[in-house]
Amino acid sequence: MSNLCPLDYRYGREDMKAIFYEESRLQYQMDVEAALARAHASLGTITEEQAAEITRVASLDVVDINRVKEIEKDTRHDIMAMVRAMTEQCEGDAGKYVHYGATSNDIVDTAVALQIKAAIEIIQADVDRFTLTLASLAKRERDTLEIGRTHAQFAIPITFGFKIAGYVAEMLRHRERLQQAKPRACAGKMAGAVGTGAALGKNFFKIQETVMEDLGLAYEPAATQVVGRDRYTEVITLMANIATTLERYGTEVRNLQRSEIGEAQEPFDVKKQVGSSTMAQKRNPMMSENVCGLARVVRSMVTPTFESQVLWHERDLSNSSTERFVLPHVFVLLDEMFHKMNEVFSGLTVNKKNMLKNIESSRGLVMAEAIMMKMTEKGIGRQDAHEIVRSASMIAEDEERQLVDVLIENKDLVARMPEAEIRSAMDPANYTGGAKEIVDKMVAEVERVLGQKV
């Protein structure tokens, strides 16, 4: 049978996809059922032997997923199908206590919390790995001169390492956001049909606490029939935020790889890789473009997530189908994006010669601010200095001359600033401010936070 969804045959890494497979979903749900049985046993509601038997059958080695599907055809209810399939496999009277006191979404939401927990752990590892890659690149290119650009126009000099240091800072913020959001995102419930825990009796609170402690989850302190969907909204919007960050980096690589800029290039296997089916010379930034495209899909999942937050009364079913699409796609695609961006930046070609060439192509105009500020140090008023540089810049641009050559023709200026001093002030290497120190600080911060040498 042919595959339909691109996640099946084109995108996604196995470790992340495995969390959301149909079999995995069933196993997570049975894990919750087993934890519920153990909680009951710990409080004497059922025997230890009955809980052990329910735990034994809560396994794909015992419960056949095809049997669950067969039952679901009749029941049209996936959780009841699972419960009956588990009950069939129980020896003795343990089957009477499968799903005891629970409602379907106690199982579903708690299982989803386990999936989210496992998925976030992979994303956290992705963030750390990529942050180290960026920090290493920033350190390597700490002193590499590049022109800064604003409005897609030349601005003033920076270093390429400084640019990447900004990426490092952003990834560290995302790391912090993940740590903060994880406890809220990884919350289940064991509170019955409308959240009151009535079917669980006098031990309701203890059962819920025990189940979640067993599973390593937080719990919804005041649930309806479901865990509050604001939790899902927070984690999905965070994933979209991170995806957008990766798109920003991919967009920068695409721009720097443009033929007329040529300052950086993503990895390209010159022996085997094909850039175009007809233009054999092409080396296209295909991984970066792919990441930019996938980011749009991830962001598109934000709207249905917000809409699924609005449920009727204590709950309706409108969120269920939406979440079956949203959660796997967001996590699988973001993990894929990280894998590709890490490959791009760990193998990025940095063309230092072109970076210098682009700076030099401005004929010194990018140093206008630098010379203006130097003039103020010599006692020339800021506004007067601005006008001197502005007028000289217009002449240099119109006559296609070096700005420094126009400036040294100004006898009044040279009288206050020797030619050598003017030329030194207009050396791009002398006007990167604290760029290099910022790189050092960000590398040190990565080493502190991750506890690993860059």
Measured torsion, CA atoms of residues 20, 24, 29, 33, in degrees rounded to the nearest 10: -160
How would you class 312 by CB atoms within 10 Å of its CB: exposed for 0-12, middle for 13-18, buried for 19 or more? exposed
Measured torsion, CA atoms of residues 131, 132, 133, 137, in degrees rounded to the nearest 10: 100
DSSP-H helix ranges across 141-270: 160-185, 204-215, 230-256
**Residues 312 and 230 sit within 8 Å (Cβ to Cβ):** no
Q: How many helices (H) and strands (E) does the chain have?
A: 20, 6
Is residue 276 annotated as part of the catalytic site, yes or no? yes
How would you class 361 by CB atoms within 10 Å of its CB: exposed for 0-12, middle for 13-18, buried for 19 or more? exposed
Instruction: Give the whole-angstrom CA distance, residue 205 versus residue 185.
Output: 20
**Choice among 2, 151, 277, 313 that is catalytic:** 151
The count of other CB atoms within 10 Å of the CB of residue 431 is 20
Instruction: Give the whole-angstrom CA distance, residue 110 versus residue 231.
Output: 13
Instruction: Give the whole-angstrom CA distance, residue 329 versus residue 300.
Output: 10
Instruction: Give the whole-angstrom CA distance, residue 305 versus residue 299.
Output: 10
Instruction: Give the whole-angstrom CA distance, residue 144 versus residue 140.
Output: 9
Instruction: Give the whole-angstrom CA distance, residue 439 versus residue 442.
Output: 5
**Residue 262 DSSP class:** -
Choose among 220, 97, 189, 169: nearest CA to 446: 169
**Choice among 2, 104, 276, 300 that is catalytic:** 276
Instruction: Give the whole-angstrom CA distance, residue 180 versus residue 174.
Output: 10
158 strand-pairing partners: 146
C-alpha distance from residue 402 to each of 150, 405, 427, 431 (Å)? 22, 5, 12, 18
The one-letter amino acid at 132: L
**Residue 47 DSSP class:** -
Instruction: Give the whole-angstrom CA distance, residue 285 versus residue 65.
Output: 43
Instruction: Give the whole-angstrom CA distance, residue 434 versus residue 143.
Output: 11
Choose among 339, 308, 344: nearest CA to 323: 308
Is residue 313 annotated as part of the catalytic site, yes or no? no
**Catalytic residue annotation:** 151, 276
